[in-house]
Structure 1
Amino acid sequence: MSGIFGIVSRDGLAVSSVMLETMRQVMVEWGPDGCDIWLEGGVGLGQARFFNTPEAHYEHLPYVDTTTGLVFIATARLDNRDELLAACGIKKVDALTIGDGELLRQMYLRWGEECIKRVYGDWSFAVYHPVERKLFLARDHFGYTALYYYADQRVFAFASSRKALLALGLAPVEMDELYLAQVLVSWPDYHGERTIHKQLKRLPPAHCLSVTPERLDKHCYWRMEDTQELHLPRREDYIEAFREVFKEAVKARLRSEGKIGVSLSGGLDSGSVAAVAASLLRAENKRLIAYTSVPLTETSVYLGKHSFGNEFPLAQSTARQAKNIDLFPIVAKAISPIQAIRSMLAVRNEPAHAAGNFFWLQSIRETARYKGCHVLLNGQCGNASISWTGDVFSQSLLFQVGHFGWRRWIKEMAKRYAPLSLLQAYRRMHMPGKAVWQSSAIHPDFAYRLNLWEQMLESTNSLLFPKNTALDKRWLILKPGRSFVGAKNAENGAAFGIDVRDPTADIRVLTFTLSVPDRIFIDPETRVDRWLIREAMRGHLPDEVRLNRRFGQQSADLVPRLRICAAEVEAVLNELEDGFAVDYLNVPYMRQVWQMVQNQDTPEAFHKAGSILMRGIMAGLFVNEFYNNG
């Protein structure tokens, strides 16, 4: 995706061209195809261009409308482009030279701020109204874009890249210690507008923001939670309806300036994306390039009976059935898990939950770029959308008891309907905070200083308490109105020169799958879960993939990889111990985990390698860099 940036003076002073140029230079990776700036008085806007569609070549932003005076910038790939072209009265022959950002501009001129409810895809834009001295920004419903901002009484600055804002040095930046702690203990409340840099905010998905000299008004324009349940006459009708909407979502993401690749696992989500994409490309005599992470060693000793570590055989089955998928195994020998963490910190500027996956993710992106791919498809949001398992409690009582057994059913029902206050009291009595800290790398003194355990007990977004309904469980994964999965993928894509696209995050796919009654996702006769996607992919995916009920672990060889780079691990632990990180992390405990990783081939060693060692290392390196540079 392209990137956008800008500065608006709120105190009436002129914006410095040096500041705007600084942002342009920092965002050079967002604009491999050029970058333009518009600057006038107290306002400056810019677009860093990446030609990710054929029409993008004809786009020239920022655009100053001579009639209204509005100044418009955008980064956009629109899913319902044909519908929007028709709404604007643009003929197909003329549409060949109209980029998606320009189409979005025309939508804004026609419908104003209401246009954001009509536009689907990956997009964000900013428009300046000179007469009102108002800046309006908006982000897509759930797409793969990023938008950060800084605001005080003097100035408002925004950018697709957080680095561009940090480079301005507009104010001393503090670290959000609670954010750091929440990442370490896997408490997803850090999703939303907060970043680990206190003074910088994210504009969350499905939000818009109006900025004037006097005020900032943020508004959520669409709520995933308001999706209405869909009732169709027969169970089979949901399959045909899903196929139609999913095919359209994949098709919309195949419009590309270059080759198209897919990050392919052995599972249902990326497998379904790959199968449908290959089918659509086959009709045009085109091929799909697929990349699958492959472990260095045998991984069964690190996994339970319901997981597997080598997904390449299943990916091969998917590729064979499609006939036009060129599959490449990604062994990721060139980068160690520690190097991958350092690289990802440079891209994202904050610690992350899944630090143990970065080595294979980075290798896939680098290979995709080397192979000439401009687009990399994935199925990251599939678990809560197209391949939702279904909730056992949506089935009949007989089914529930057969699934759990009477004793466990009674226990699950008690947890499900017990008052929150009773569950909180039980946790306080039987699970002291110390037990939680032992499952993470957090320093106990740091946790106690934040009163973290009490904050977790009081939070409805904590993982400590079961969710009552199937939708509650899905909201915890999707984090509607708060998720930053889109920002994460936009930043990663810019760093590697590719456009990351996810059909399972298509707003039409999400809306449809969330509207399907939960009972449909489980077949009561066969007891098979994820029934909707399994049936929809009949004939598209081989049965060994379509009916597989085990879960793949693409970082399953993390333990042997860490042993290979043992000197790096020792060095980074010393680095944490000698720096500011020692006040936030329990480095002695991390060393104990490291000893386990070196000496044990067990599921516990694998789990702790990711959740304690890798996540702790990433957090610690961030802390050291933050204070050393501050």
Structure 2
Amino acid sequence: MNILYGLVSFDPDTNSDLFPIIQNSLSEFAPSLISDSVDHGSHIGVQTRSLHTEFQAQELLYSENNCQIISTGRIDNRKDLFTLLSMKIDESIPNNILLLKLYLLLGDDFVKKIDGEWTLVIWNGNSKELFLARDPFGIGTIYYRKGHDYIAFSSLLKGLLDFDKSHLKINESYIAGILTVWDRLNDETAFEDIHFLLPAHYLKIINGKTEFKRYWIAENTPVLQLNTEMEYVTRFNAKLEQSVRNRIQGANKIGSQLSSGFDSSTITTVASEILKKEGKSLTAFTSIPKEDTSDLFNPLTATNESYLTIPTAQFLGNVDLQLIRSEQVSIVQNLKEMTDLHHSPLHAAGNLFWIYEIYRNAGKEGIDTMLIGQFGNSTISWTGYTEKNSVKEKIKQLIGFDSNEKLTISSYIGLMSQKFKKYMGIDQSKIWDSYSHINSKFAEDIDLEKRMLESGHDPYFRQLVPNEKKQIQFINPQFSKIGAVWHDLSYYFDIKTFDPSADKNLVEFCLSVPNEYYYRYDTPKWLIKTAMKGRLLDDLIHQKKKGRQATDLSLRIANEAKEFEQLLESFDQNKAITYYLDIQKMKDSLASIIKDPRNKNAYNNSIYLTRSISCALFIQSHPNKFV
């Protein structure tokens, strides 16, 4: 993995010290390994540094025709690029040479020709243009910061925080979004003047002016019409196998995150099949609770997913399964570690402790490549939908029941009462009070509800999306931030992380398949169930339960009661934190968790509390950047 960073200065005399600051900020990730850089006087400096000493300098940076390129990632269609360039195939030629030659041949749209997971930066000395681009749908990102006389970029957010601190400001809307589960669908980070480059986009900077272009639009994927249903299955298997094969090629030791669901089980199975032919194995990791938590959830929730992952590993034969109980992990310490690494509060803060522990154990095992299935629900295991509305759905539409809640007499009366109170102005409370610790004063100051509604977000989560639109909304590659979290983990633990379910070619195929092959013979997920028949356990294919991780979060918080109480007390002494967060509500939530960690509300309270704590720790780590 390479770290990319650099700076374009529009006033070289005043910005000569910025580039070394970026270098020093990132030194902890690659303190003294191979690096290469180019410096055009004081106008621009770009550098790439590899975490692995086997890389030669020519692989890090390539120059031709007064243009320089640095890149990181994986290119899956190198043979196609050789053909486009009319070059003889030579596997010893680094990616940078191919990519820059392609840029010189085709111009900006050359990125449309690249398959894989990658990020690249090109400096065109002829046009004085900086060109940043990233893959359509992979795990990775690149951040950029635009000041009044410079633009800086970095693979990691940390590289852009330690300079020009007087102009570094916290993005209040981002904080509000995390606290209230408001997905803002944009390129913002937790800092106002730092953005991340959106998937499937490139950015050009010429003379201080920026130009964006989205070069891949998943929504435009045409429907694929084949002659028989088994042709869809055959093509699905081929696309899936190629996606996995691309991601494990060249790996020394492979790991996977294995749950009881379709996505991780399918990806682990396909990887296992490929490796078995080569006489190799892989290590799978399953997170399980420290103690039984089945009484905390309904019977259709799999609180300990090892009930399927153990027999799956045994069935496959060449899978070494490790059950990760995270017995010695401190949730408080993990929340602090998370804040230090990601430099951002996170929506799923309560889930990070077991993910970090998997990576720690993977590192001890020498794993250098980790497979996940983050996007599988909307791609390989897409459920599909019934073509005809059920009688109940028609009744809902007829009576105006626009809620995702189960339709009953009491729920209908409750919804109508809520609407009436809202209409009459009687009910002054905000719905997010039930799932957020946001301070009401802060919410009022930024006119939160109005802004939510204007952006198309419903804080009541009552909007019924037409089923045919759900798949692309779930995928939503244009604004996906999920990859950035895995990107940070990859650098921190020095373990490459790939998601085969997010492969562009596989995603396009899944979007092109008509709905009738996802929901077929009254069977949801028909495509993957048919493709994996005999390859996945029958118990897994026909399971009714839905797996959930971190089911013991409330029990863990109760065990660390003193540490959590001390943490909230420290927050209560911070004026910035108390402006954004209702600390008393946080204390009340903590008290209820400590009193009865097995209460039916304890898990949700734990999720809300850890999310709020991640916001508070972030605010605490950046003093003087708030109100």
Fold shared per TM-score above 0.5: yes
1:13-68 Cα offsets, whole Å, 9 max, x none, are: 4862x43233223223544753222212111001121349x8x5574322222xx1
| Counterpart residue number, 2:48 | 47
| Counterpart residue number, 2:615 | 619
Match of 1:81 among 69, 78, 82: 78
Match of 2:585 among 580, 589, 611: 589
2-structure distance, mates of 1:528, 1:413:
27
| Counterpart residue number, 2:38 | 38
Q: Note the C-alpha offset of 1:129.
A: 1.2
Instruction: State whether structure 2 residue 562 is matched by structure 1 residue 567.
Output: yes
Q: 1:51 to 1:302 in 2, by over 3 A?
A: same
Gaps of 5+ in 1: 417-421
1:437-486 Cα offsets, whole Å, 9 max, x none, are: 22111111111111111222232244634243235323433233111122
1:349-401 Cα offsets, whole Å, 9 max, x none, are: 01011011011000011111121111111000111111122233xx235xx23
Match of 2:172 among 166, 169, 177: 177
Aligned-partner residue type, residue 48 of structure 1: R
Which SS does the other structure have where 2:623 is aligned?
A: helix
Q: 1:287 to 1:101 in 2, by over 3 A?
A: farther
Q: How does 1:513-532 map to 2 (within 5 A)?
A: 513-523=510-520, 525=521, 527-532=522-527
1:490-538 Cα offsets, whole Å, 9 max, x none, are: 1111011111100011111111111222232223x3x332222122111
Aligned-partner residue type, residue 2 of structure 2: S
Q: 1:380 to 1:414 in 2, by over 3 A?
A: closer
2-structure distance, mates of 1:373, 1:288:
9
Match of 2:363 among 362, 369, 374: 369
2-structure distance, mates of 1:212, 1:592:
53
Which SS does the other structure have where 1:188 is aligned?
A: coil
| Counterpart residue number, 2:154 | 159
1-structure distance, mates of 2:323, 2:300:
23
Confirm or deny: 8 A CA contact 1:30 1:49 kept in the other structure: no
Provide the identity percentage: 29
| Counterpart residue number, 2:490 | 493
2-structure distance, mates of 1:598, 1:159:
42
Confirm or deny: 8 A CA contact 1:385 1:514 kept in the other structure: yes
Confirm or deny: 8 A CA contact 2:370 2:495 kept in the other structure: yes
Aligned-partner residue type, residue 163 of structure 2: L
Q: Note the C-alpha offset of 1:277.
A: 0.5
Match of 1:249 among 243, 249, 265: 243
Aligned-partner residue type, residue 583 of structure 1: Y
Aligned-partner residue type, residue 132 of structure 1: S
Match of 2:377 among 371, 375, 383: 383
Q: Note the C-alpha offset of 1:76.
A: 2.1
Which SS does the other structure have where 2:145 is aligned?
A: strand
Match of 1:212 among 202, 206, 214: 206
| Counterpart residue number, 2:60 | 61
Instruction: State whether structure 2 residue 189 is matched by structure 1 residue 195.
Output: yes
2-structure distance, mates of 1:59, 1:602:
59
Aligned-partner residue type, residue 275 of structure 1: T
2-structure distance, mates of 1:415, 1:86:
54
Deviates more, 1:230-239 or 1:484-493: 230-239
1-structure distance, mates of 2:239, 2:302:
31
Match of 2:388 among 396, 400, 411: 396
| Counterpart residue number, 1:98 | 93
1:221-277 Cα offsets, whole Å, 9 max, x none, are: 111111122222333332111111111100100123421111111111111110001
Q: How does 1:426-465 map to 2 (within 5 A)?
A: 428-429=422-423, 433-462=429-458, 464-465=461-462
Confirm or deny: 8 A CA contact 2:396 2:402 kept in the other structure: no
Confirm or deny: 8 A CA contact 1:123 1:140 kept in the other structure: yes
Aligned-partner residue type, residue 39 of structure 2: L
Deviates more, 1:270-279 or 1:572-581: 572-581
| Counterpart residue number, 1:265 | 259
Q: 1:171 to 1:212 in 2, by over 3 A?
A: farther
Q: Note the C-alpha offset of 1:213.
A: 1.2
Length, aligned pairs only = 607
Match of 1:321 among 315, 318, 331: 315
Q: 1:406 to 1:11 in 2, by over 3 A?
A: closer
Confirm or deny: 8 A CA contact 1:79 1:249 kept in the other structure: no
Confirm or deny: 8 A CA contact 2:288 2:306 kept in the other structure: yes
Gaps of 5+ in 2: 405-415
| Counterpart residue number, 2:145 | 150
Q: Note the C-alpha offset of 1:132.
A: 1.4
Instruction: State whether structure 2 residue 606 is matched by structure 1 residue 609.
Output: yes
Aligned-partner residue type, residue 48 of structure 2: Q
Which SS does the other structure have where 1:627 is aligned?
A: coil
Which SS does the other structure have where 2:131 is aligned?
A: strand
Which SS does the other structure have where 2:511 is aligned?
A: helix
1-structure distance, mates of 2:192, 2:402:
40
Q: Note the C-alpha offset of 1:327.
A: 0.8
Q: 1:528 to 1:169 in 2, by over 3 A?
A: same
Q: 1:428 to 1:203 in 2, by over 3 A?
A: farther
Confirm or deny: 8 A CA contact 1:295 1:555 kept in the other structure: yes
Deviates more, 1:111-120 or 1:203-212: 111-120
Aligned-partner residue type, residue 22 of structure 1: I
1-structure distance, mates of 2:624, 2:141:
27
| Counterpart residue number, 1:118 | 113
1-structure distance, mates of 2:625, 2:446:
24
1-structure distance, mates of 2:258, 2:83:
35
Q: Note the C-alpha offset of 1:158.
A: 0.6
| Counterpart residue number, 2:410 | none
1:564-596 Cα offsets, whole Å, 9 max, x none, are: 211221111112111121111111111121122
Which SS does the other structure have where 1:183 is aligned?
A: helix
Q: Note the C-alpha offset of 1:89.
A: 4.2
Confirm or deny: 8 A CA contact 1:291 1:327 kept in the other structure: yes
1-structure distance, mates of 2:165, 2:87:
43
Q: How does 1:465-480 map to 2 (within 5 A)?
A: 465-480=462-477
1-structure distance, mates of 2:37, 2:163:
16
1-structure distance, mates of 2:356, 2:138:
21
Confirm or deny: 8 A CA contact 1:262 1:376 kept in the other structure: yes
Instruction: State whether structure 2 residue 291 is matched by structure 1 residue 297.
Output: yes
Q: 1:605 to 1:246 in 2, by over 3 A?
A: same
Q: Note the C-alpha offset of 1:90.
A: 4.6
Confirm or deny: 8 A CA contact 2:402 2:463 kept in the other structure: no
| Counterpart residue number, 1:419 | none
| Counterpart residue number, 1:19 | 18
Q: Note the C-alpha offset of 1:296.
A: 0.3
Confirm or deny: 8 A CA contact 1:3 1:47 kept in the other structure: yes
Q: Note the C-alpha offset of 1:427.
A: 9.4
| Counterpart residue number, 2:407 | none
1:139-175 Cα offsets, whole Å, 9 max, x none, are: 1101111111111341111111111111222652111
1:187-229 Cα offsets, whole Å, 9 max, x none, are: 111x421111001111111111111114111111111111122
1-structure distance, mates of 2:51, 2:450:
46
1-structure distance, mates of 2:432, 2:317:
49
Deviates more, 1:278-287 or 1:76-85: 76-85
